[in-house]
Structures are given as C-alpha cells and as structure tokens.
Amino acid sequence: MRHTLPIAPQFYVTAPQPCPYLDGRMERKLFTALQGDHSEQLNNALSKQGFRRSQNVLYRPSCAECSACLSARIRVADFKPSKSQRRTAKRNSGIRREATSPWATEDQYALFRSYLDQRHADGGMADMDIFEFAAMIEETPVRSRVVEYSDSIEGERHLRAVCLTDVLDDGLSMVYSFYDPELSRSSLGTYVILDHIDIARDAGLPYVYLGYWVAGSSKMGYKANFSGLEVYRGGEWQDIGDPANYSAETHPLSNDPIAEQVARISLPDTRPTGAK
C-alpha cells in the first residue's frame, strides 16, 4: 500500500506483524525514505511529529486498533532529577564519555551482543550479525554521533554503554542505546539518558527524544520516571501527566485512516531562499 503527498517524500505502510511490546497485538508502521539533499530538514521536521529514524528510514506507529505507542521527549529546562536518579549519577561518576563519528567497532558489537543475549534474546534484533550492526550504526544520512561510555580498571579501558544519537535542530534523539547487562545495579540505561540531558543543556538544545513510551509495557515504563516528559498525542506535544491515565486497550477508532494521517504531516520548505 502506498500513499503520496503532492510533493516528495512518499509514505508507505508496513504489513502487520507481531508487536514487540504488547502480547497478542499486531503492529503497523507508517514510514518514508530518508535520503537526498534535504535529509536533515526532513529528519528535523518529522521527529517533531512523532517519527523516529532507523538507518535511512523514518517511521511512526500506525496500528489499526491500538494507539499505545507515543513518541516521548524530555523538556530539558523542566527536568529535575529524582533522588534515585541523583544516586545513579553519583554511582557512575567514574564513567567517562567519548563522542565519535558513527563508526562501528568490534568492542561495540561485543557489548551489543551481550546486551541482546541477556535482555532481548527473543527480540527482533536477536539475530543481528556484525555487518547488520555496522549498517545500523553507520548508515545515517543525517548528523549522528556514537556516544561511548567507559571506565578504566588497572589502566585498561572497558566499554560499558553506547548510544547512537542524532543531533536535531531542537534536541538530541537517542536512536538506540545498549549497555553492559552485568552491571544492572549501576542503572546504566538511566545514566545514559541523564548524561544526554546534560549534553543537550550544555549545547542549548531544548529536548532529548527518547523514542516511544508504550502504555501497558513494562519494557518502556522507565521513560515515565523522567520529569519534564511529554508525549506526541493527537497531533501535538503535551505533558504526559499521570501515566496511569493512559490505556492500552484496543479500539477500532484508535487511529485515523492512513490517508488522513499522511495529509496532516507537515513537510519542511526545501525551496531555495527567495523562491516562490
């Protein structure tokens, strides 16, 4: 199935497949290719409308009877760490951050495999080999960074966490992160988000995009623990409020028809300056 806007890009819909977050559900995505001279502008514009990047594709959930997946971002100016988050930051004070170009390494892949094998052995990435991993990291047409977190034991560097991050015009988008599963007490996943809030604040960027918060999913519940969190709902960003008020129940009118969704997408103006 294909739907088009009067101007590029073209939007497509995936075939339904099992949902990775809610048992017994089928997921469907609305997506478009991210390519050409205006990739940066398109990524910026669609990220503000609930889309996420995966390599050279931008996508947004568009399930037939479910609207539990909501794009989430933290308002940096309104974020205040909880006591637990302050303890996490202190616990990881020995971790060092290094931001590099999006280039995959064997150390990254070894950590990635360990993370998947212990945390997501039955997930969609479970069979990803080193070449597919390299493509995930390196195939980006936009401004991206790999942020590595490591410590040192007896002078030897140990990679503890990695985050593939896009730099948007209004924030940082955490595309994908993984960490050492053996250090569960260190709460490295939380620490990486806290550090990205610091990076965004230092850069004067107002938001940190976290991906999707899913009502009813224990895997995604942690995102609601961050103050200043807002979700993209009903065509606008709004404060998440009480997460308990969100329902994961299915309903045949949960989402508008695809054609209507596409018609409401705002595209960036890529005309040369002065053009009419």
The CATH number covering residue 82 comes to: 3.40.630.30
63 and 82 share one domain: no
This prediction has a pTM of 0.92
CA 148, 231, 184, 138 torsion: positive or negative? negative
228 and 253 share one domain: no
- Residue 68's alpha-carbon distances to 20, 60, 217, 226, in angstroms, are 12, 12, 9, 19
In a domain, residue 268? The reply is: no
Can you state the angle between helices 130-138 and 106-119, rounded to 10 degrees?
110
pLDDT at 64: 86
In a domain, residue 274? The reply is: no
Domain that holds residue 126: 73-245
In a domain, residue 269? The reply is: no
pLDDT at 1: 52
In a domain, residue 149? The reply is: yes
216 and 127 share one domain: yes
255 and 229 share one domain: no
145 near 167, Cβ under 8 Å?
yes
Residue 252, judged by CB atoms within 10 A of its CB (0-12, 13-18, 19+), counts as exposed
pLDDT at 4: 46
Domain count for the chain: 2
Phi-psi region of 6 (alpha: psi -120 to 50; beta: other; left: phi over 0): alpha
Q: Which residues of the chain fall below pLDDT 50?
A: 4-7
23 and 135 share one domain: no
Residue 61's identity, in one-letter code, is P
pLDDT at 127: 80
12 and 147 share one domain: no
Can you state the angle between helices 83-91 and 188-203, rounded to 10 degrees?
90
178 near 194, Cβ under 8 Å?
no
